Structure 1
Amino acid sequence: MKRLIAVIVIWLAATNAAFSDSARITWEWYNAAEMHQGRKAAGPADQRLAAHYFRLAADKGNIAAAYKLGEIFENGQGLAPDPIQAFQWYMKAAARNDKHGQLKVGWCYQKGIAVAADPAIAAIWYRVAAENDNIWGYHMLAFMLADGEGIKKDVALARRYFERSLPKTNDHWAKWKLAQLIEAEDPKRAKLLLKEAAEAGNAQAAEELKRIDLKP
């Protein structure tokens, strides 16, 4: 695992070096795209123009635009949905050290979107994103560590990553999972987390609460 992480880090560095420092950063196009995308009454024409301007900027090396273009292809906003194109643009952003693109590449590998599902590679990309200060990278890694998915199971590290990410994500699934991990040690806090998750609409957390309440 460590060796593969090192290979990816070296590849990222090499890819970044391959881009010319003189490449035009087309923030005018990027800003025009955001303007069309963010209009209150944005319709199909605005969405198509946003996609057009993001594409112009991305083709000239703007990594933020590359990530946005990946989202557009993923969600079908202004362009027909195309998971392969979405993955390719996410990868281009990830290769330029964009932490959001790195997270999305991990997600694609975990869920088998446009690539063969490979949880081990997904875990590596989540770690790269986390080390690049993407809090959702820690969030996703925590689940994989808790379940031993694509990575050696490590409940202690999973707990640490949940504790690190939850204050910012406030994700009800993370609360549900963390409650499971700490129930034996801290049943009071586990119940509180389950209650918060259930109130956020998590049906599994609600079921867990019933189970705990029925305990003698």
Structure 2
Amino acid sequence: MSQFHLTQCYYQGVGVDEDHTKAVDMFRSLAECGMAQAQVALGRCFESGEGVDQDYSTAIEWYSKAADQGSEDGRLHIFWIGMCHRHGGGVSKDYEKAFEWFGKSANQHNSYGEWIVGFCCYHGYGVIKDHTKAVEWYRKSAEQGNRYAQDWLGHCYHGGRGVPQDIDTAIFWYRKSADHGWPYAINSLKELGKWP
């Protein structure tokens, strides 16, 4: 762990001259030994092109290794791997592959993964459209405090999509999201005459 912190010093220029190339070499050494934090850090270097040529495929490989170890940071990066596939960031755009990665993130109880799986189910991105399933995933994420899922869950109750229409429950979830400052939820509350 002390080697990892020393490497961070080189990466950030704390107490030593900033040297991304040296940091990459040090991260790689630790990553190859199986340290999940170093695998994530090395993935970030490849993603951003700091100390190495930018290479999304290699970034994804390192993120995947960390995620396979159950690393919390790796779990978040599983979500981002899905986003790369969804938007074509460094890899070919592929909604089905994106949904597969989002599912891995959601199954590890990442609230963003749960929210985006719900979003994909709602719209039919990479999976058959299913509003009922979308509500299930939105609820899991919303109960963890994810403002996007809270807003979408409110949207489902507001329009009766995947659940019976229930304006009071819609307002409840919109308010939870609005309390986190999410402007779309605030706008929905304004439309219903419930803001502030």
Give TM-score scaled by structure 1 length: 0.68
Counterpart Cα distance in 2 of 1:174 and 1:196: 10
Q: Percent sequence identity over matched residues?
A: 25
**In the alignment, is residue 45 of structure 1 matched against residue 45 of structure 2?**
no
Could you tell me which residue of structure 2 aligns to residue 17 of structure 1? none
Pairwise CA distance, 1:193? 2.3
Counterpart Cα distance in 1 of 2:11 and 2:170: 41
- Cα deviations by residue, 1:51-89 (Å, 9 ceiling, x for unpaired): 443222113343442222212333466667553442342
Instruction: Specify which of 38, 55, 79 is matched with residue 65 of structure 1.
Output: 38
Give TM-score scaled by structure 2 length: 0.73
**In the alignment, is residue 30 of structure 1 matched against residue 4 of structure 2?**
yes
Counterpart Cα distance in 2 of 1:42 and 1:178: 48
Which stretch of the first structure deviates more once superposed, 145-154 or 81-90?
Answer: 81-90
* Closer/same/farther in 2, CA of residues 157 and 38 from structure 1, 3 Å limit: farther
Counterpart Cα distance in 2 of 1:43 and 1:204: 45
Which stretch of the first structure deviates more once superposed, 116-125 or 58-67?
Answer: 58-67
Aligned length: 186
Instruction: Specify which of 135, 159, 162 is matched with residue 135 of structure 2.
Output: 159
CA contact (8 A) 2:56 2:91 kept: no
Ranges in structure 2 where 5+ consecutive residues have no aligned partner: none
- Cα deviations by residue, 1:82-119 (Å, 9 ceiling, x for unpaired): 53442342244456665524333222111211111111
Counterpart Cα distance in 2 of 1:83 and 1:38: 22
Which stretch of the first structure deviates more once superposed, 109-118 or 153-162?
Answer: 153-162
Counterpart Cα distance in 2 of 1:80 and 1:203: 38
**Paired amino acid for 1:103:** F
Counterpart Cα distance in 1 of 2:69 and 2:108: 12
Could you tell me which residue of structure 2 aligns to residue 130 of structure 1? 106
CA contact (8 A) 2:31 2:38 kept: yes
Which stretch of the first structure deviates more once superposed, 53-62 or 89-98?
Answer: 89-98
Which has the higher relative contact order, 1 or 2, with Cα contacts under 8 A spaced 6 or more apart?
A: 1
CA contact (8 A) 1:103 1:137 kept: yes
* Closer/same/farther in 2, CA of residues 213 and 134 from structure 1, 3 Å limit: closer
**Paired amino acid for 2:89:** I
* Closer/same/farther in 2, CA of residues 44 and 79 from structure 1, 3 Å limit: farther
Instruction: Specify which of 154, 163, 173 is matched with residue 193 of structure 1.
Output: 173
> RMSD across aligned C-alpha pairs, in angstroms?
3.3
**Paired amino acid for 2:171:** K
